[in-house]
Structure 1
Amino acid sequence: MSMPIPRPARGDVARDLWRLLEPIHAVVYFAPEPLEEFRAAGYRGFWMGYFAGRAAPLGSVGADVVHALFYNFAYERVSRAVPAAWSFAPPNEALQARLRGSVRALRRALGPAADGADTARAAELATRAARSAPFEGRALFAANRSLPTPQEPLAQLWHAATLLREHRGDGHVAALAAAGITGRESHVLHATASGIPRDVYTPARDFNEAEWTSTRDALKERGLLQDDRLSPQGQQLKAQIEERTDQLAATAYDALTTSETDELVRLLRPLTHAVIREGDIPLDNAMGLDLRESLDHL
């Protein structure tokens, strides 16, 4: 009989599964098919489609709610997209567009494997984890959890990946807030730790040189940065945030046994590698995920 995952390993399991599930979800932001679907629904420009698609489970919300839950975007960027998006197409149309486009993108990347038994089994396991995850205090996850579960396996896998990434994301925001790191500071902290070029954040998160510099200066004043690297204090804080994020995310997998979790990792690995190798998702990105590491170590 399979035993529950030992608690010391739970955070590691959650991180491995994040590396595997995040690219499956992230086609909704980078692949051409979802962008086509958002345009067809009536949304204008990439960012209106982005905010409409991700915020749609919340209903016709405005900029304050989206800014609070998404945490790390410039308010000006959010307020240009919502609530104006809902005058072009209602949330239900955004939900349909993001699912259709994401499934189309995954089908292109996976080829025959999209309809295979392994994909169906991965969808089953990931859905069981996602549906069992605690949702108290996790507003964005709870909103997505309230949506119907798709029946088609590939759509179900994308939906489960979305639930699990928003579950993790809500926990990550809580860990950042508890550590006293704002959403904008989190980008600078992560970029410094990972070596991601600053210019990645110019189009992705609307950082100009002045804001980037002032945010770095604020982190330096707190002793978290030294020149172009994290200070020992900064390294410790960053490690604590990541560890706490993993611990909070791991609660989603309590419903799976050790053997089922291992099976999910095994089934997801070739699917995720195929998605990454398709090339839609940039290797240097603002999601906080190192895709090279996903390819090399999983």
Structure 2
Amino acid sequence: MTDAATTRRYVLSLSCPDRPGIVHAVSGTLAEHGGNITESQQFGDADTGLFFMRVEFEVPAEQDTLEGAFGALGERFAMTWRLDVAGRRMRTVVMVSKAAHCVNDLLVRERAGTLPVDIVAVVGNHPTLRSLAEFYGKPFHHIPVTADTKATAEAKVLDLVDELDAELVVLARYMQILSPEMCGALKGRAINIHHSFLPSFKGARPYFQAHDRGVKLIGATAHYVTADLDEGPIIEQDIERVDHSYTPESLTATGADVERRALARAVRWHAEHRVLLDGHRTIVFK
């Protein structure tokens, strides 16, 4: 065991081509630096031939020292890897339109300390939620979007993300389709909540589409943003049972609760480095 007075807690997440010796090499590297593993999960995908791993550990070594060691290990195994301080709050920008339920839920969870993010700004294409953001002490940036100003507006958002050193962008019912250029700039670090159980009922007014089909379950999907509308890698989905008595409006109200739950879990798992990309799918270590 390591000395609690001098240890630091880190989380390592990685993916690489699967082969014998990966776990041994990772655990051996930690042992060489006096590390103690407190949580470890791994998965080998037989379909893609890739190996995924997430490890939390305590160690007296400095982060720079560990990064040097894992850099060498990464070259040996052709790894994509990330090392971070465990529990560090991830700097996050939340984008909104007019619906308040998702962003309000994220702000409540952040304040309660149950969501490991630091929401550094709320960006709205309408000014509707300015008072909500300011109630929580968050800067609100009104960046309107029209067909003619879309490119300029997206450039302003990306400049803000860079200026604030934001690591994550959350589309909390942001009712705009991002351009392929913006999707590319935010690849792997932008999460959207779609108010439907994808891949069904894509695009606008999904609860009305669901009502028209007489569904018995409604759902919400949190996924990474890509240039393909509502087709990014899925992080989390949630559902609620409904019946014939529901109207489109009551489906929408019920769905709002589902959206909040799914988005909050996806954001937390991403911030805790529990989500690894596997092509157009994700590996989620819960």
Larger Cα Rg: Structure 1 or Structure 2?
A: 2
Higher strand share: 2
Same fold, judged at TM 0.5 (above):
no
Higher helix share: 1
TM-score with structure 1 length normalisation? 0.23
Structure ranking higher on relative contact order (CA contacts 8 Å, 6+ apart): 1
